[in-house]
Amino acid sequence: MLLLFDWLTPLSMILAQKHVPYASLDSSFLAHSLADIPPKKPAPLSFTGSLLSHPFFQALLAAPPPVLLDLVNGLSDDISTLSKLGLMGPKTGARAARFADWCWFFGTLVGLVQNGIELSIVEGQQRQGNETWTPPPS
């Protein structure tokens, strides 16, 4: 119960992205040149074209993989918890729990890789600092 709605943090990170690739049509030269054309009736969302042009899905596709992993992990944890509370079926809850365990495992591996990369960067900076540093004359 303590981890319910833990997926809101990665979701807010995804929605707070400043720049989403491929979504610059609104601020481009093309958008200004199309200002004279009357707007058409919006097409219903479909899986082929307009669904992927929705800003939320563009932000979702542009999000870093660890954030997406946290989002999916949080959602599957909540489904598992709701199943344990009796609000969802036990079969769905068992699948969600198993999926959440795998997401947690891969999230731990991603965190270890990130820590290793950061450690190597810090060690490289320390080596560069030691090579250029000379002790003051005494």
How many domains would you assign to the chain? 1
Domain for residue 7, yes or no?
no
* Domain extent for 77: 64-131
> 44, 66, 54: which is closest to 22 by C-alpha?
54
Q: Note the pLDDT tens digit of each residue in 73-103.
A: 999 999 999 999 899 899 999 999 999 999 9
| C-beta separation of 120 from 128 below 8 A | no
Domain for residue 43, yes or no?
no
Q: In a 3-state reduction of DSSP, which class is residue 48?
A: coil
Domain for residue 36, yes or no?
no
What is the structure's pLDDT at 49?
Answer: 58
> Exposed, middle or buried, 127 (CB in 10 Å: 0-12/13-18/19+)?
exposed
Assess whether pLDDT exceeds 80 at residue 127. yes
> Exposed, middle or buried, 106 (CB in 10 Å: 0-12/13-18/19+)?
middle
Please state, rounded to an integer, the average pLDDT across all residues of the chain: 76
Domain for residue 46, yes or no?
no
